[in-house]
A and B are shown apart, each in its own frame.
Chain A
Amino acid sequence: DTEVTQTPKHLVMGMTNKKSLKCEQHMGHRAMYWYKQKAKKPPELMFVYSYEKLSINESVPSRFSPECPNSSLLNLHLHALQPEDSALYLCASSQESPPIRGLDGYTFGSGTRLTVV
C-alpha cells in the first residue's frame, strides 16, 4: 500500500461547527504532515508529527487542532473556523523525519476540499 488516504474529500461547514479531517497511511512512514493549500498557491506547512509526537507547529491558530492517535493515523480537528480558512487541506507522510536523507520524498493524500460558510 503506497497511498495516503484522506477523508472526507469534500466538507462544507458553518463557522460554529466542529468537524474533523482524517488521514491514514500504511507505508510505515514515521512522519506525517498537515498542509493547507489555497488556489494557485503552493502548499503551506501547518503541522509535523514525528514518531507520533508534534514536532513542528507553524504558528497555526488554535481553531485547528491536530492529533496523532497512532503511527498510521493523523486527524485535524476543526472548530470555529472562518471563511478564509476555506482551502484544500493536504495530508502527507515521509519515511523519515525532516531533513530527508533518503531517496523518497513526501507522499501526499488527495486532500479534503474545505468550504467554510
Chain B
Amino acid sequence: AQSVAQPEDQVNVAEGNPLTVKCTYSVSGNPYLFWYVQYPNRGLQFLLKYITGDNLVKGSYGFEAEFNKSQTSFHLKKPSALVSDSALYFCAVRGGPSDTNAGKSTFGDGTTLTVKP
C-alpha cells in the first residue's frame, strides 16, 4: 500500500522568509512524487514532480522540492514566500508502471500555508 503523511496541518511564515512544507511517503518500488496547490473554491493545480534524476526538483512559481530517499521525504520549499502563496498544499505519491497500484495517486491530508505581510 502507498501512503503520504503531511505532519503539519498549518504553516505560518512572514513574507520574504523561506518556507518549508513537509511530506513523507511510503510506497513499494520507485516513488513518483508530486506537489499540488489548491486555492479556495478551485481544483488542485500541479506544482512539481519527482520521477527520477536530480534530487532537487524545480517547479512553478519559484517552488522547489528535495527528494530524500533515505528519509523517504519530499519537502516543498521556497526561498522567499509571497502573500499570494497562501493556499492549501498537497503532497501525493503515485504507483509506477510496474507497481500493483500503477497509476493510482494517493494524497496527503494537506497543509494550509499562510504567508503574512
A and B form one complex: no
Interface residues of B (CB under 8 A from A): none
